[in-house]
Structures are given as structure tokens and as C-alpha cells.
Amino acid sequence: MAKTIMGKIRSNTQGEGGITLGTYLFDCLKKEGVTEVFGVPGDYNFTLFDTLEECTGIRAVPTRNELNGGYAADGYARVKGLAALITTFGVGELSAVNAIAGAYSENVPIIHIVGSPKSDKQKQGKLMHHTLMDGDYDAFRRVYEPISAYTAVLTPDNAMAEIPKAIAIAKRFKKPVYLSVAIDLVQQPLALKAPKIEQPKTNESSLKSASKHARKMLKSAKRVVLLSDAKVKSWKWEPLVREIAEKLQIPAASMMMGKGGFDESHPNHIGMYGGKLGSEKVREAVESADCLIVAGFVESDTNTANETARLNPKKMIVVQPESVTIGGQEYANILGEDMLRELAGLGLTAEQPIPGADRPYNSGTQLDGSHALEAAEYYPLIQRLLQPGDIVIAETGTFAYGLSQLQLPQGATYIAQGGWQSIGYATPAALGACMAAPKRRVLLFTGDGSLQLTAQELSSMTEYGCKPIVFVLNNGGYTIEKHLNFRVPVSDQPYNEIPGWNYVKLLEAFGGDARAERVRTIGELARAFRDAELQRSDKLCLIEMIAADGMDAPAYLERMSEELEKQEQGGR
């Protein structure tokens, strides 16, 4: 039986003078659909947690450390749209820095709430524990400035202005925001009314000019392709990009960081674009197009396949959240959703037929169940076993590159850190996804090395009644790093080896009702998957996959390693 983490309902949720800072904060989060708040208690945030315990409709989900709490909030926000995290001053908030930086990099909105020392101690510059012993109480807020869209120190006088403003900024820019509040001010009554938040609007003149330019480019193009990228997922543009593909009757491809942003079961979806590293068929369709409509583009090394992508800016209509660039000319103050609707409504249709999709794992051959586990066989098997509506979470490592090439079923959500790529992210993110969508099937794919960084959250999953199916690829170390460090032989990389854990026994050590199984063949993996599906309604299931070859990797990763080595030697 999962332990409940709902607090007792008490009557003193408001101070004598009215609603308190803390209850107002959590009320604002509830209005945004946030029903779980991740974090770790510490002596400077006790009043935040105490207030949260008194609130209805929103609860605390303590994690085993702040880093994991940040990752969990990240996974939650990707499913639900917004998340919240509570840490304590100094030691707690600094432990969460990596997770919050990742959310900033990946456009994930998190409200990060920090409990700080008493306000009078701060004013007096007292040397308190968890500080740098220099009396500077603003140091850690400044640390967060480059990785937050907004930072503020809350007081009863400014909370009604600052809290809605911070939430609005997080939602607008899809970035984390930072709110600090002294422990003695959380339960103080508020003083001011909340101001009205102005929402950004499209400049109609700019939109008209951009639409005219786009129409001219599209009308003269014989081959048009839509590229769906990362910000499509962050800004929830999935219906809009699908409408463009359907109205213009054009093919759509996904970029690596944008995987899952376009329905991969749709007849217009032709596959993943990965420059020289991905499908040659998709590459030909994209790079030979006369015009590319690129929604939510992130020009990173991941998306450009280590700069092997050949995308001509002169042929591109790039739609961003608040601007559009057409043929290299930028049009500012245009909301991306407005431009996408404009493109769909132009009344133009493509002249060329949509090419057939390229699915690397659509193997028609019957898998031999006795074969030892190899990437060439278990990725096609995983693709066959996915179901509509699944949440698929891929850890940074071999899984991230292998799973990027499979075809997702309709309604599936794909979560991976395509840009930040912090090893260990996926397990806590899976906790967040489970809490955000308890009725959906969550599949976590992680590696042995990655799991060793954040394995504690498996215990949180069992504690809070989460029931994902967890796949642990045991290949004896950091295989991804071994492939990327092509400069020296694998035998000279002892730092990429890890201690051998008994992953099947791990859940037993953490307690809780769970099922664990170790598999070595394709047949065993298929049976374990089916058994896990039968058990999933009752318990968390973990499948440890023993790789036959520690260096076995998906084809995409192998090509990437070869390309990096080639570039290092001066070739392109």
C-alpha cells in the first residue's frame, strides 16, 4: 500500500489579517493545474511545507534529494504544462541548480520556491548556517539569474504582484522562475491586490507582412516540407503543425529534439531528420525541398546532427514563439501560434506527392527469441510493444539515440533531454510523469550508469504508488561515453566503467511491492514485457536487460561516433 502524502486539513490556512503569503502562493499554483509540489524539507522551508500540508487540492511530493526533485518537476511539467519545486536556502537550492539549468535549456516551466532564513537575520547580515558566512543573502538568487527567466524575493507587501508575474513569465517563456521567501513571512497576511498581467499580443502589421512574404515563397515552391522541432512540444503547438501539414498537403519530419511533437502515426509524417546520421530518404526529402516550414527550431549540435544538416536559411520559414524569420528576414512581435494558423489558412497546396515514411525499426522479419540482446533487434521489438497514449522517457545515453529512431504510436508523449543531456535525468523525470498522469502507462528506459546517479527515486515511485515499467540496460558502464571518446581505446578508459549492481535486487532494498526480472535474450525480453503489462496495475515493474556486448549501440550512435572522429581528423 502506497503511503499517503496528503496532509491533514486544518482551519488556520489564513492569518488573522486575511489570506497568507503561503496560501496565496499555493492557490495560484492550483489555479494553473499544479496539484503536486516536489522538493526536500529543510529548516528554512518548514513553513512552506507546513502551509502546503494545510492546503486542499495540492500536496507535497518529497524526493530523496533536491537534484532529483528538480528532475521530477521537469518531467511533471512536460506532461502537465507547469511544475513547482521547494528547496531550502543555500545547500538545497544549489543542489537543484543542474536540474533547473536543464529546464531552462529545454524550455520547461518550473516555479522554484526557496525557503530562506528569518527576515530580521538577513537584514542584520547574521552569519547563519547554510550561508557563505559573509552576510550576503542575495548570493544564491544571483546564481539563479542566468538560469531563470525571472527571480524575486517575496514579502507580504509584494507577493500579490510578484507571484502572478513570475507564473506568467514561466508560462510565456517556458522557463523556470525563482521565488525566495523568508521562513517567518510565509504565514503572514498579504497587503496588496494582485495587478492585472498583460499578455503578449501579435503585431497585426508585422503578421500581415510576414504572411505576404511566406505566401510568395510557398507559391513559388514545388517541394515544401514541414520540420517540427523542440518548441512545438514546449508551446503545445502539436495540433497547429498537424493542421499545416494537412491543409498544405505536405510531408512532415521531426528533428531529434522535437521528437513526439508531430504525430508519428500520421500519414504525412515521413520520419526523423538527422542530417548525415539519420535516414537518407528523409534527408533527401528535407534538403532538396524548395521551402522548409520549421516550427520551434533549435539550432543545436543535436538537431543539426553534429553540423551535418544542410538547411538553407534562404529557403526557410522559421516560426518561433514570438517571432518569425522568412528567407533570413526577421519579423518581430508575432506569436508563433498566430503565424502557424496564418500558414494553415493560406489556401495553398503542394504539387508533389508525399513520399513514404522511413521507419528504421519496421522490420518485417520474425525475431529469433533465442538471440542474445542486441540493439538491432530489441529496438524493433520495443517499437512493436508500444501502445497509443504511452509516456516514453529516454535517458541520455545509448537509449536516447536508439529510441529517437522508433515510430511512436498515436497520442504518445516522448520525454528526453535532447539539449541539456544530463545523465541520471530520466528516472526522477519518470516519477514526475507518473505523478502528472497517473492513469497513463509510463515506460522508463535508462542505462545502468545513469541509474546509479539517481536510483533513489525508484523508492519514491513505490512509496507514492507509481507503477511505471522500468527498463535498465546493463552494458557494464558508460557505453555512450566510450563511443564518444574515440581518441583512445576502450581498454584505456577505466573511468567509463562502473560498479556492478544487482538491479533486480535494488527494489527489494528500497522496499515496496514491485516486480523485477533479468533478461538476456529477445524472447525473454518480449515475455518480461508482457508479464510486466499484466502486473502493472498492481506494482512497479523493472526489467534488467543484460547486453550481449558492452559496446553494442544503435546505428545512429555508431554513425555519430564515426562522424565526430572524421570531423576531428579534418574531414566533413
**Tens of pLDDT, residues 546-569:** 999 999 999 999 999 999 988 888
CA angle, residues 99, 48, 456, in degrees to nearest 5: 40
pLDDT score at 13: 41
Q: Answer whether residue 96 shows pLDDT above 60.
A: yes
Q: Answer whether residue 462 shows pLDDT above 90.
A: yes
Q: Answer whether residue 1 shows pLDDT above 50.
A: no
For range 127-131, the mean pLDDT: 94
Q: For the domain with range 204-344, which CATH number is right: 3.40.50.2000, 3.60.15.10, 3.30.365.10, 3.40.50.1220? A: 3.40.50.1220
The model's pLDDT over 470-488, given as tens digits with 9 standing for 90+, comes to: 999 999 999 999 999 988 9
Q: Which CATH architecture has domain 375-568?
A: 3-Layer(aba) Sandwich (3.40)
Distant-in-sequence, close-in-space partners of 552: CB < 8 Å, separation ≥ 6: 374, 375, 475, 479
CA distance 64 to 229: 33
For every residue of 206-272, DSSP letters joined together read HHHHHHHHHHHHHHH-S-EEEEE-HHHHHTT-HHHHHHHHHHHT--EEEEGGGTTSS-TTSTTEEEE
Q: CA-CA distances (angstroms) from residue 295 to 249, 251, 421? A: 16, 14, 22
Is 159 within 8 Å of 190 (Cβ atoms)? yes
Q: Answer whether residue 15 shows pLDDT above 70.
A: no
**Mean pLDDT value across the chain:** 93
For range 49-56, the mean pLDDT: 97
Q: Answer whether residue 16 shows pLDDT above 80.
A: no
The three-class DSSP label of residue 41 is coil
DSSP-derived letter for residue 59 is E
Is 454 within 8 Å of 480 (Cβ atoms)? no
Q: Which residue has the cell 489555479?
A: 31
Q: CA-CA distances (angstroms) from residue 177 to 66, 136, 138, 199, 435? A: 16, 21, 16, 17, 21
pLDDT score at 570: 76
The model's pLDDT over 347-364, given as tens digits with 9 standing for 90+, comes to: 998 878 899 999 999 976
Distant-in-sequence, close-in-space partners of 40: CB < 8 Å, separation ≥ 6: 62, 63, 64, 65, 66, 69, 86, 87, 88, 92
The model's pLDDT over 192-243, given as tens digits with 9 standing for 90+, comes to: 777 788 889 999 999 999 999 999 999 999 999 999 999 999 999 999 999 9
The three-class DSSP label of residue 9 is coil
Using alpha carbons, select from 473, 461, 457 the residue that is nearest to residue 540.
461
pLDDT score at 332: 97
Distant-in-sequence, close-in-space partners of 315: CB < 8 Å, separation ≥ 6: 217, 221, 289, 290, 291, 292, 327
For residue 190, count CB atoms less than 10 angstroms from its CB and return exposed for 0-12, middle for 13-18, buried for 19 or more.
Answer: buried
CA distance 139 to 147: 14
H helix or E strand, kind and range, residue 460 = helix 457-463
The model's pLDDT over 498-538, given as tens digits with 9 standing for 90+, comes to: 999 999 999 989 987 899 999 999 999 999 999 999 887 78
- Backbone region of residue 547 per phi and psi (left: phi > 0; alpha: psi in -120 to 50; beta: other values): beta
Percent with pLDDT over 90 in the chain: 88
The model's pLDDT over 240-296, given as tens digits with 9 standing for 90+, comes to: 999 999 999 999 999 999 999 999 999 999 999 999 999 999 999 999 999 999 999
The three-class DSSP label of residue 556 is helix
Q: Which fold has domain 14-182?
A: Rossmann fold (3.40.50)
For every residue of 263-294, DSSP letters joined together read -TTSTTEEEEE-GGGS-HHHHHHHHT-SEEEE
Strand partners, 255: 273
Same fold, 14-182 and 204-344: yes
Q: Answer whether residue 572 shows pLDDT above 80.
A: no
Using alpha carbons, select from 287, 223, 219 the residue that is nearest to residue 251.
223
H helix or E strand, kind and range, residue 317 = strand 316-320
For range 58-68, the mean pLDDT: 98
Q: Answer whether residue 541 shows pLDDT above 90.
A: yes
Q: Answer whether residue 126 shows pLDDT above 90.
A: yes
Where are the chain's structural domains? 14-182, 204-344, 375-568
Predicted TM-score of the model (pTM): 0.94
Is 446 within 8 Å of 427 (Cβ atoms)? yes
For range 148-167, the mean pLDDT: 97
Output 5 or 541, whichever has higher pLDDT.
Answer: 541
The model's pLDDT over 360-419, given as tens digits with 9 standing for 90+, comes to: 999 766 778 899 999 999 999 999 999 999 999 999 999 999 999 999 999 999 999 999
Q: Answer whether residue 330 shows pLDDT above 80.
A: yes
Is 151 within 8 Å of 144 (Cβ atoms)? yes
Is 208 within 8 Å of 338 (Cβ atoms)? no
pLDDT score at 325: 98
